[in-house]
Amino acid sequence: MKINLAQSRRDAEFLTGNHLFFSKKTSASLRLCASIFLLCATVSGAEIKATDVDGRERVLNEANTVHVVIYSNEEVQDRTRAVNLALDEFQGLPGFRPVVVVDLRGSLAQLAKGYTRRRVARALDAEALRVTPRYRQNGNAGDPRADLCAVADFTGELSVKLGWRKPAATLRVIIFDRPGAELLRWEDLSEQEFPALRAVVKKLLSHAPQD
């Protein structure tokens, strides 16, 4: 598929915070003041399924894959972008999948769902171009676009499944390990904790999947 680079850069701004596409629903009083680092039971749970902006059904905790699920909304778009960049070293490695869940509860995007999905999909087109060199560096000759995943959560159904009952102006991140179990959860990941996040992902990827 031929992609217009100039248009792709503009569309990428949708996820980088230069274009705010969501209504402000969370007041400062609801901000979580501390980052909560929870170690969860490592037993495999039920599959968490969602339809992404490309219309594909995804399993966010698919077996034999390390998933990093990242929360986003209008108030944390810049931080979502930052954590995605912090995970660049793993792009293209077998068994690694980042997923962005865009919380659109109560936003004006409710009035233009099709447009919103297309806009996010175009942003993923631009992201695929950006991470292609990293794919090649990691020995992956595949198309990054097929691996990139974003879910537009208009109703909050997926967010609730992930334990995010209400919108929040915090950087929420969940790691699912290779068996598909929730391993770690941050309710407000700080930039100072990015190295810890990378260390966990690196260790999980260093272990071959079990047959």
**Which pLDDT score is estimated for 103?**
97
Q: Which of 4-13, 71-80, 141-150, 161-170 has the lowest mean pLDDT?
A: 4-13
28 within domain boundaries: no
The whole-number pLDDT of residue 168 equals 96
CA end-to-end span of the chain = 36
pLDDT digits (tens, 9 = 90+) for 157-202: 999 999 999 999 999 999 999 999 999 999 999 999 999 999 999 9
| Residue 29 belongs to a domain | no
pLDDT of the residue at 53:
97
Asked, for residue 194, whether it belongs to a domain, the answer is yes
* Domain enclosing residue 88, as ranges: 5-23+34-206
On the 0-12 / 13-18 / 19+ scale of CB atoms within 10 A, 148 is buried
How many separate domains does the chain show?
1
In a domain, 16, yes or no: yes
Identify the pLDDT of residue 21: 34
The CATH number of the domain holding residue 114 is 3.40.30.10
- Residue 13 falls within a domain, yes or no? yes
C-alpha to C-alpha distance for 9 and 90, rounded to whole angstroms: 22
Which tops the pLDDT comparison, 67 or 107?
67
pLDDT band per the 50, 70, 90 thresholds, residue 8: very low
Residue 93 pLDDT more than 70? yes
* Domain presence at residue 201: yes
pLDDT value at residue 65:
97
Q: Are 97 and 65 in contact (CB under 8 A)?
A: yes
In this structure, is residue 125 part of a structural domain? yes
Model pTM above 0.85: no
pLDDT value at position 207? Answer: 80
- Mean pLDDT, all residues of the chain: 83
Residue 211 maps to a domain: no
